[in-house]
Structure 1
Amino acid sequence: MRREEILAATVDEIEATGLRALRVADVAGRLGLSASLVIYHFQTKEALVAAAFAHAGESDLNRAREIVDTDAPATARLSDLLAWYLPSGSTRAWTIWMDAWSSALFDAEIQSTLTVLDREWQDVFARVIADGVATGEFALDGEDPGEPAAVAATRLLAYLDGLSVRLMVGPGEEERATMLAWVEEFADTLLARDATSAAPGGRAPGESLPPHS
């Protein structure tokens, strides 16, 4: 049994039942293994959970990088990224991140994992923002576009995360469409972006998990 299979099963179990109800025995049961074999690979439940969050995060990040690393204009890539990132009522993927954030208040290992993932998310958003500055699609204060792009990425992610939690608590497609429009408007203002060139993308939110959000 590969380590990645155990991590994927752990992510599935957290999404299905929530972190508070997670039992190593249930993860093992999904794979037809004994709980002791799972513990053999990860030593403790806490280490298993932290590794599962890292596994899920990298899966989401890889999908986000696929969206960003294309030849499309930066405006289109950013809109696709925003539309994919914001959760819909049909996905359970964001439940794992809500669990992770709340658990990080009391678990240093999870907090460390999320800190690393957060920096990587900032890098993804900052890259497409810097691309837009370089092509004249976006405008930021400062002579060096690198640092302002990182700050803009942090602000945009904070706005997205706040709206995403609200959507997960009371999901609805009509509300999601409204909030996606808010995100686009926020990006227009933050990046001095031409609103007429920003069309919400058609990516399926959360498709990267069994999809951070």
Structure 2
Amino acid sequence: MLRTACEVIAEQGFGHTRTIDIAKAAGVSQALLFYHFDTKEGLFAQAFGYAARVHLQSLADLEESAGAPLDRLRSLLRLCSPAIPTKGWRFWIDAWSEGMRSPELEATSRRIDARGRTLMRGIIEAGVDCGQFACPDPDATTWRLFALIDGLAVQTHLHPNALSRRRVNALIRTAASYELGVAAERL
């Protein structure tokens, strides 16, 4: 039910999704939905928590993967890239907006963002340590790169024809190149 809730919310948005929409999509009654989730807000918070766990597992898999820092950074940038418009990004963008009014959504969002930054900073620090990257402030670089990725995600979903997929990827690679002293072609 939580995966279905995420899909419906991504399609319709938090503000336009009704519990009956989720129940119908899941093939269950609204009564059963409320048996498992006391309130609509509780359902939304648990759906966002489910999406967060899926994303956090992807980050954990990447963190545990072997490979040089440059390879791991490439993988992380692909994982987080907004170049391919997806319902997942629409869900996250809408959740950020709702997080300004929902302490549960804000806390979950903050936890995911912090986890992603910790992973990227660790990759950058490992790259600096082994000489693959030249970066005097991995923490600031991490903030700037994620701010760019998140901002491009909003732009590409709000204005889908403004930037091509290729351009979005080039902007991210170029920024990472400047930040890390690595040729953009290597990213």
Q: TM-score range by the shorter chain?
A: 0.7 to 0.9
1:63 aligned to 58, 65, 70, which one? 58
2:89 aligned to 82, 91, 94, which one? 94
1:156 aligned to 145, 159, 180, which one? 145
The residue number in structure 2 matching 1:46 is 41
The residue number in structure 2 matching 1:210 is none
Is 88-97 or 179-188 further displaced after alignment? 88-97
- The one-letter amino acid of 1:20's match is G
Q: How does 1:126-165 map to 2 (within 5 A)?
A: 126-141=121-136, 148-165=137-154
Larger relative contact order (CA 8 Å, sep ≥ 6): 1
Contact 2:23 2:30 in 1 (8 A): yes
Contact 1:68 1:78 in 2 (8 A): no
2:98 aligned with 1:103, yes or no? Answer: yes
The answer to which structure has the higher helix fraction is: 2
Contact 1:54 1:117 in 2 (8 A): no
* 3-state DSSP of counterpart to 2:164: helix
* Structure 2 alignment gaps of length 5 or more: none
How far has the Cα of 1:14 moved from its partner?
Answer: 0.8
Count of aligned pairs: 187
Tell me, in whole angstroms, the C-alpha distance in 2 between the residues paired with 1:20 and 1:128.
Answer: 37
RMSD value, Cα: 2.1
* Structure 1 alignment gaps of length 5 or more: 1-5, 142-147, 200-213
Check 1:155–1:128 CA distance in 2 against 1; reply closer, same or farther (3 A cut): same
The residue number in structure 2 matching 1:73 is 68
Contact 1:7 1:55 in 2 (8 A): yes
Is 79-88 or 19-28 further displaced after alignment? 79-88
The residue number in structure 2 matching 1:11 is 6
The residue number in structure 1 matching 2:160 is 171
Deviations 1:93-112 (A, max 9, x none): 11101111111122222112
How far has the Cα of 1:49 moved from its partner?
Answer: 0.8
Is 71-80 or 96-105 further displaced after alignment? 71-80
Contact 1:89 1:172 in 2 (8 A): no
* 3-state DSSP of counterpart to 1:137: coil
The residue number in structure 2 matching 1:112 is 107
How far has the Cα of 1:25 moved from its partner?
Answer: 1.5
Tell me, in whole angstroms, the C-alpha distance in 1 between the residues paired with 2:85 and 2:133.
Answer: 32
Q: TM-score, normalised by structure 1?
A: 0.78
The residue number in structure 2 matching 1:185 is 174
Q: TM-score, normalised by structure 2?
A: 0.88
How far has the Cα of 1:172 moved from its partner?
Answer: 4.9
- The one-letter amino acid of 2:75's match is D
Tell me, in whole angstroms, the C-alpha distance in 2 between the residues paired with 1:105 and 1:166.
Answer: 19
How far has the Cα of 1:151 moved from its partner?
Answer: 3.2
Contact 2:83 2:168 in 1 (8 A): no
2:183 aligned to 195, 199, 207, which one? 195
Tell me, in whole angstroms, the C-alpha distance in 2 between the residues paired with 1:114 and 1:196.
Answer: 30
- The one-letter amino acid of 2:91's match is I
In percent, how many aligned pairs have the same letter? 29
